[in-house]
Chain A
Amino acid sequence: MSLATSARLARRELRGGLAGFRIFLLCLALGVGAIAAVGTVRAAIESGLAREGRALLGGDAELRLTYRFADESERAWMASEATAMAEVVEFRSMAVTGAGERALTQVKAVDGAWPLIGTATFEPAMNIATVLAGRGGLPGAAMDPVLIDRLELSVGDTFRLGRQDFALMAAVLREPDSIGTSFGLGPRTLVAAAALENSGLIGPGTLFDTSYRLTLREGDTLQQLRQSLNTAFPDAGIRWRDSSSAEPNIARFVDRLGAFLVLVGLAGLAVGGVGVSAAVRSYLDAKTPVIATLKTLGAEGRTIFTIYFLQIGILTVLGVVAGLVLGAGAVALAAPLVQAQVPVPMAVGFYPGPLLEAAVYGVLTALVFTLWPLARVQDVRAAALYRGIGTESRAWPRAWALVWLALALSALIGASVWFSGIWMLALGTAGGIAGSLVLLFGAALGVRALARRLARSRMLRGRTALRLAMGAVGNPREGAVAVVLSLGLGLTVLATVGQIDANLRAAISTQLPDRAPSFFFLDIQPAQIDAFTAQLRATDGVNDIDTAPQLRGVITRINGRSTSEFPEHWVLHGDRGLTYAAEQGSVTVTEGDWWPADYDGPPLVSFGADEGRELGLSLGDTITVNVLGREVTGTIANFRELDFRSGGIGFVMTFSPNAFSGAPHTFIATVNADRNVEGAVLRALGEAFPNVTAIPIRETAQRFAEALSTLAAATSMAALATLATGFVVLIGAAAAGERARIFEAAVLKTLGATRGQILASFALRSALMGAAAGLVAIGAGAVSAWAVLTQVMDLSYRFEPVSALLIVAGGVLAVLLAGLGFAARPLAARPAGVLRAQE
């Protein structure tokens, strides 16, 4: 029996048309489409970032320094190795108006060469030189429109940074080398670096970053330039970025978010899989006489399997292709909309990679969800042609099919791990989906059994509508399993997102202000710290002050090995705040001992316990940090608890006090004040210490919450795709049951039931199944939200009833809508016509 014959028979079978496969195709196409769309957007952003790399960086390469400017030798190196160089200084400060309004701003001070690539746009339109030149003897500045509004300034007004006045020349609309301003602390103020000389803001110990953007000489490569830099200044603590990864943080963020959303999309595909499975089951059920006939005519089990496997295979390819067209097409159509929403450049186009990824997911999901029913076709008995009894094929497919099923499932999970690159999240998602499906399947069977019992109980006698509804839900043919599975899984995803979102919001809006200080103060000079604390202590309403010396440095080596050899960890990424202390104070040491207050030996370090564990550190290990170009190596003396959630001062590394003796540094302070005096405290300190930067915690938390809600919104969109697929499955189940309901309604009418009673019975059964799906979704959603919040985010979890109730209500409503949408024909059908046709 050749494959060609099977293929021929399969083709003849498919002549029946695709009408019976609408749900199959829609489920597959929606699931694949969502994944293809997410993947295409991600690829477009990544490609946009790469394309605009030079402009975003503001040059071919960037050298970044902390707290200092390049020295003479470094400048000489740049002059000899690059064709052009632009210097940019960035720091946080307070902008103050003549009216006394003050606001945190991120200052960017540039030289005359900036920007090397692209142009900055201002309102009113002018060039950068005009902006910086200023007017009336004052240096010029441009500000983010948000900041102009906040300070109630208009173009032409004067404001002050530190001790220097500036003329506001324009609003800055676009900087070619900045896309991440919204992620920074405070909106932008753009000034000339030379104008800051007398501001008192930039000096030894103050917190500022300098970056030098360079353009390559003809014929040079980035690699050569980098090697030359490393040779010339091996230990200068110079950080390197180049146009191949201009925005590594954003690229990483987009990559992670994309991978996460694809995994959410995978949940949608799993929902679609439930619909696909149900569609194939009902198709094959209807084909039982044909299969039995083929067996009678001499077809072997394997031939039968091949015939139907090929049919489903062809349909799978159709569904997947439709999904790819849908996903890629949707992105292409919505590109202008999406581009307006994201602050990063997108290069919309055709990206085969993400489409291939979506196709692989689609094919494997179809395989996983159809192998079981397909494998059972070969057990259809020829005797099915003349009787119904005893021909039900056995519940379990044969061993080979189970092996293939396991292989396909492993391939699917393996693919998600491979494609996402985040194996823990991928496995967690796979486990979550599988766990939810098992839970939902159990719940569906439970609901069915319970409904059957209730339908027969004495309690419901006389309540006809309810008894009929229970009977229907309890009937294996009513599709309760498919409804609860598909809707339940969609709702579970939504419930998880809802619970996490609500918990995060609660954590930010209610928990933080109770414990957190009102302000962070930065850049307090050593000479100012005593006067600063004294003034605060003298202010009524100030409850708590905490200060610590601060330096910033980059960890360069652990136990003498370069940090580039270690797996990525945020502590190793960029520069960190460092402090020193003689006394242990209120911190809890988890391992090792604090040093004596008068310790004067080689530098010792107290390291954050969790971070140390993640980095695989133990007592006695050495940490080398580069502070202002100087390398300091400390030995880990103890590990201590760090609680970032308290909002207090939390340094990963605290050194023994002798480690940085003589190094210029500043102090930071946290201040807890009553809300009604916050404004007064800020004004008084601002006047006395104009160089000190205040960060209002509540405002920052608000900004953080906004960023989180954007994330939650993106996740909800992906979850909605899941729900839409679930709804398609619902409609499929409702449509499949329509004929049975027409007959049921006809019989009931004959027996004297009114249309109202019949409708009530239909509505009740829908509501029951929806409620069951919703309740399980809440349970599964709560468990997965708990896992994400407590195990991944290290936060506490509290059940959020409002979002949960919405989920159940939504579930009931969805099933009601799908069910009642198909109630019209059963209600309208005249019994005589229906019952005559049934004979």
Chain B
Amino acid sequence: MNAPVSSLPVLTLENACLTLQGNAGPVDILHGISLEIEQGQSVGLVGPSGSGKSSLLMLLGGLEQATSGSVVALGQDLTAMNEDALARFRRNKMGVVFQSFHLIPTMTALENVATPLELAGHADAFKRAEEELRAVGLGARMHHYPAQMSGGEQQRVALARAAAPRPAILLADEPTGNLDGVNGQAIMDLLFGLRDRHGATLVLVTHAPELAVLCDRIVHLRDGRIEGETNPAETRDAEPRVSAPRVSAPRDSAPRDSGAVA
């Protein structure tokens, strides 16, 4: 299934600012960010360390509240919601993947994946979780604990967990940052595959240019501001040897190029 692209904005930031209270006083993280992401789009957030990529992603996921400005997701103003309302919203609409996986160590892979479904009150939480784990190739490791799995396997569990509730929005914070090249590539394939299969909108933070070019759009951040935006399609055309051969080959099973290019 190709990712449908429409002009409907799924995520809208308007002049969003984020200031945090540190021990040494307030720290300005993001300044006046305005951004619109349409349904089914994949957006890469790139920039040097401390540029505010992760904070922007957390703002989009309602894990962080904007100090000023507005953050609207799927028509709902996240800045007007309290922590519990945000939790309920995420439960049904968003999946988040982290660089360091953040699996719950006392739960098996299956239980980790089932948790968001249980929280949402799905009676068939475990059945669906099994399907999700099979889909990421971990059908044989359902009852293993995180500590018994490799980093790549853990991240696949985290992916299955994020995708299990069929979220409309997938957020990923350097999902391959802790993995080697081969594992990182497999995770990226799965991530984009999930996005394609469920028609989700994907926002991805990454340091790696070769991953960013897989996205429909690349947003560059510096010092908490959007510095500019590039279209990876052009980059790919200009420098085909950088990314095209490496990314297209393993993802044959989940063709997405048509959608991305359109």
Contact B20 A389 (CB under 8 A): yes
Residues of A within 8 A of B183 (CB): none
In the bound complex, CA of A5 to CA of B61 (Å): 24
Residues of A within 8 A of B96 (CB): 296
Residues of B within 8 A of A300 (CB): 83-84, 87-88
Shortest Cβ gap from B215 to chain A (Å): 20
**A10-46 at interface with B (beta carbon < 8 Å):** 12-16
Please classify the interface of chain B as helix (H, G, I), strand (E, B), loop, or mixed, using the class held by over half of its residues: mixed
Contact A298 B120 (CB under 8 A): yes
In the bound complex, CA of A732 to CA of B87 (Å): 35
User: Which of A298, A303, A378, A383 has a CB less than 8 Å from the CB of B90?
Assistant: A298
- Given A297-B90, A298-B91, decide whether A9 and B63 contact each other with a Cβ distance below 8 A: no
Contact B21 A295 (CB under 8 A): no
Residues of A within 8 A of B181 (CB): none
Shortest Cβ gap from A9 to chain B (Å): 7
Shortest Cβ gap from B167 to chain A (Å): 10
User: Which of A15, A298, A385 has a CB less than 8 Å from the CB of B116?
Assistant: A298
Residues of A within 8 A of B54 (CB): 386-387
B208 at the interface (CB under 8 A from A): no
User: Which of A298, A302, A390 has a CB less than 8 Å from the CB of B20?
Assistant: A390
In the bound complex, CA of A300 to CA of B87 (Å): 6
Residues of B within 8 A of A8 (CB): 118
- Given A298-B119, A301-B84, A390-B20, decide whether A385 and B102 contact each other with a Cβ distance below 8 A: yes
A231 at the interface (CB under 8 A from B): no
A334 at the interface (CB under 8 A from B): no
In the bound complex, CA of A5 to CA of B87 (Å): 16
Contact B161 A297 (CB under 8 A): yes
User: Which of B22, B58, B87, B103 has a CB less than 8 Å from the CB of A299?
Assistant: B87
Contact B88 A298 (CB under 8 A): yes
In the bound complex, CA of A301 to CA of B84 (Å): 6
In the complex, per-residue mask of A37-75: 1 if CB is within 8 Å of any chain B CB, else 0: 000000000000000000000000000000000000000
Residues of B within 8 A of A385 (CB): 63, 98, 102
Smallest Cβ-Cβ distance to A16: which chain B residue: B106
Shortest Cβ gap from A476 to chain B (Å): 11
Contact B87 A289 (CB under 8 A): no
- Given A298-B91, A383-B58, decide whether A303 and B20 contact each other with a Cβ distance below 8 A: no
Residues of B within 8 A of A386 (CB): 54, 58, 63, 98, 173
B64 at the interface (CB under 8 A from A): yes
- Given A294-B104, A300-B87, A390-B21, decide whether A383 and B115 contact each other with a Cβ distance below 8 A: no
Which of A15, A292, A294, A386 counts the most chain B CB atoms within 10 A? A386
Contact B83 A389 (CB under 8 A): no
Contact A15 B106 (CB under 8 A): yes
Contact B63 A289 (CB under 8 A): no
**B25-70 at interface with A (beta carbon < 8 Å):** 27, 54-55, 58, 61, 63-64
In the complex, per-residue mask of A386-403: 1 if CB is within 8 Å of any chain B CB, else 0: 110110000000000000
In the bound complex, CA of A294 to CA of B120 (Å): 12
Residues of B within 8 A of A5 (CB): 118-119, 121
Shortest Cβ gap from A7 to chain B (Å): 11
In the bound complex, CA of A379 to CA of B84 (Å): 10
Contact A296 B119 (CB under 8 A): no
In the complex, per-residue mask of A288-315: 1 if CB is within 8 Å of any chain B CB, else 0: 0110111111111111000000000000
In the bound complex, CA of A306 to CA of B85 (Å): 17
B209 at the interface (CB under 8 A from A): no
B92 at the interface (CB under 8 A from A): yes
Please classify the interface of chain A as helix (H, G, I), strand (E, B), loop, or mixed, using the class held by over half of its residues: helix
In the complex, per-residue mask of B147-166: 1 if CB is within 8 Å of any chain A CB, else 0: 00000000000000100010
Contact A12 B119 (CB under 8 A): no
In the bound complex, CA of A14 to CA of B106 (Å): 8
**B78-97 at interface with A (beta carbon < 8 Å):** 83-84, 87-88, 90-92, 96
Residues of A within 8 A of B27 (CB): 389-390
Residues of B within 8 A of A1 (CB): 119, 121
Contact A297 B98 (CB under 8 A): no
In the complex, per-residue mask of A589-616: 1 if CB is within 8 Å of any chain B CB, else 0: 0000000000000000000000000000
B139 at the interface (CB under 8 A from A): no
**A184-219 at interface with B (beta carbon < 8 Å):** none
B111 at the interface (CB under 8 A from A): yes
Residues of A within 8 A of B105 (CB): 16, 290
Contact A298 B92 (CB under 8 A): yes
Residues of A within 8 A of B104 (CB): 12-13, 290, 293-294
A382 at the interface (CB under 8 A from B): yes
In the complex, per-residue mask of B107-124: 1 if CB is within 8 Å of any chain A CB, else 0: 100010001101111000
Smallest Cβ-Cβ distance to B20: which chain A residue: A390
Shortest Cβ gap from A16 to chain B (Å): 5
Residues of B within 8 A of A295 (CB): 63, 83, 87
Residues of A within 8 A of B55 (CB): 387
Contact A389 B84 (CB under 8 A): no
Shortest Cβ gap from A267 to chain B (Å): 36
Which of A1, A13, A382 counts the most chain B CB atoms within 10 A? A382
Shortest Cβ gap from B171 to chain A (Å): 10
Shortest Cβ gap from A17 to chain B (Å): 9
In the bound complex, CA of A570 to CA of B98 (Å): 75
Shortest Cβ gap from B206 to chain A (Å): 14
Residues of A within 8 A of B61 (CB): 296, 382
Shortest Cβ gap from B212 to chain A (Å): 19
Residues of B within 8 A of A302 (CB): 84
- Given A295-B87, A387-B54, decide whether A12 and B111 contact each other with a Cβ distance below 8 A: yes
Contact A296 B90 (CB under 8 A): yes
Residues of B within 8 A of A510 (CB): none
In the bound complex, CA of A302 to CA of B83 (Å): 11
Residues of A within 8 A of B58 (CB): 382-383, 386
Smallest Cβ-Cβ distance to A382: which chain B residue: B63
**A368-424 at interface with B (beta carbon < 8 Å):** 378-379, 381-383, 385-387, 389-390
Smallest Cβ-Cβ distance to B111: which chain A residue: A12
Which of B55, B84, B98, B116 counts the most chain A CB atoms within 10 A? B84
A2 at the interface (CB under 8 A from B): yes
**A255-306 at interface with B (beta carbon < 8 Å):** 289-290, 292-303
In the bound complex, CA of A775 to CA of B140 (Å): 62
Contact A303 B22 (CB under 8 A): no
User: Which of B83, B115, B121 has a CB less than 8 Å from the CB of A297?
Assistant: B115
Residues of A within 8 A of B20 (CB): 389-390
In the bound complex, CA of A385 to CA of B22 (Å): 16
**A739-769 at interface with B (beta carbon < 8 Å):** none
Contact A297 B106 (CB under 8 A): no
Residues of A within 8 A of B63 (CB): 295-296, 381-383, 385-386
In the bound complex, CA of A385 to CA of B103 (Å): 11
Contact A389 B87 (CB under 8 A): no
Shortest Cβ gap from A352 to chain B (Å): 36
Residues of B within 8 A of A303 (CB): 119
Contact A2 B121 (CB under 8 A): yes
- Given A9-B118, A13-B106, A385-B63, decide whether A298 and B98 contact each other with a Cβ distance below 8 A: no
Shortest Cβ gap from A169 to chain B (Å): 78
In the bound complex, CA of A12 to CA of B105 (Å): 10
Interface residues of chain A, those whose CB is within 8 Å of chain B, are 1-2, 5, 8-9, 12-16, 289-290, 292-303, 378-379, 381-383, 385-387, 389-390
Interface residues of chain B, those whose CB is within 8 Å of chain A, are 20-23, 27, 54-55, 58, 61, 63-64, 83-84, 87-88, 90-92, 96, 98, 102-107, 111, 115-116, 118-121, 161, 165, 173
| 6 residue pairs A–B, Cβ–Cβ below 8 Å | A2-B121, A289-B102, A293-B104, A294-B104, A383-B64, A385-B98
- 3 smallest CB-CB distances across A and B, nearest first, come from A298-B91, A390-B20, A382-B63
